[in-house]
């Protein structure tokens, strides 16, 4: 698991959810794991035609 790879003082930011997501901040400290919501986001895939 990713969370097991965090060292004390480590932080990880990741999207959680499917279509509508929340960016979460995961912090590992001497008290354990803390998870904080940063902001709501929405995943929009990039398509090749839009890049040209």
| Exposure string for 23-38, b = 16+ CB within 10 A, e = fewer | ebebbbeeeeeeeeee
Write the pLDDT tens digit of every residue in 22-52.
999 999 999 999 999 999 998 877 787 765 5
- Domain count of the chain? 1
23 lies in a domain?
A: yes
51 lies in a domain?
A: no
pTM attached to this predicted model:
0.73
Supply the range of the domain harboring residue 24. 2-44
49 lies in a domain?
A: no
52 lies in a domain?
A: no
32 lies in a domain?
A: yes
Quote the pLDDT of residue 50. Answer: 60
């Amino acid at each position: 698991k990713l969370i097991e790879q965090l060292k004390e003082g480590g932080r990880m930011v990741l999207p959680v959810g499917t279509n509508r997501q929340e960016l979460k901040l995961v912090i590992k400290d001497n008290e354990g794991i803390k998870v904080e919501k940063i902001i709501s986001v929405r995943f929009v895939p990039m398509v090749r035609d839009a890049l040209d």
